[in-house]
Amino acid sequence: MTVSFVCRTESALPRERLFDLARSVDVHLESQQRAGERAVAGVTTGLIGQGQEVTWQARHFGVPLRMTSRITALNFPASFTDEQVRGPLKAFRHVHEFEATAAGCIMTDRVEFTAPFGPAGRLVERLILRRYLQRLIEDRGRFLAAAPLDASSLPPTDAGSD
């Protein structure tokens, strides 16, 4: 069974900057230091674009995991979608949406995932994975939103043209 959740994060950053921070491999690695996350294949630095893949390696629940994600849709600076093409879950889809506001931007993360292993996986989804992944996405959103307004410290905006 597919589980889903939505996280919304407000930021003073312009949506173009927050969009690029959200698809920066380097910034993702900074935000996931606690899990020892590394980019080990595909796009391993800089901004990931439409059709490109990255393979992440990290330790979650004490278990080393690898997950390859592909950017399956990109509409700069409004939204992009990444989906698992190989990894520990049966399915994983993350839609990132960015809405400009008078104060900056609202980033909305829409996550859908399905655990493997049938009924046992559904139980793990409900009891552990949903809460764990939602906390991870919320923490990442706060990390991105707190980035400095000084554009010199951010990856360059390239309008998604890869």
158, part of any domain: no
45: left (phi over 0), alpha (psi -120 to 50) or beta: beta
- Residue 129 sits in a domain whose CATH number is 3.30.530.20
Mean pLDDT of the chain: 93
What pLDDT is recorded for position 11? Answer: 98
56 falls in which pLDDT band (50, 70, 90)? very high
157, part of any domain: no
52, part of any domain: yes
What is the arithmetic mean of pLDDT over 87-100? 98
Predicted model pTM: 0.91
111, part of any domain: yes
What is the extent of the structural domain holding 101?
A: 3-148
154, part of any domain: no
What pLDDT is recorded for position 151? Answer: 59
59, part of any domain: yes
161, part of any domain: no
Domain count for the chain, please give it: 1
What is the arithmetic mean of pLDDT over 44-62? 96
22: exposed, middle or buried (Cβ count in 10 Å: 0-12, 13-18, 19+): buried
128, part of any domain: yes
In DSSP terms, 10 is beta-bridged to 106
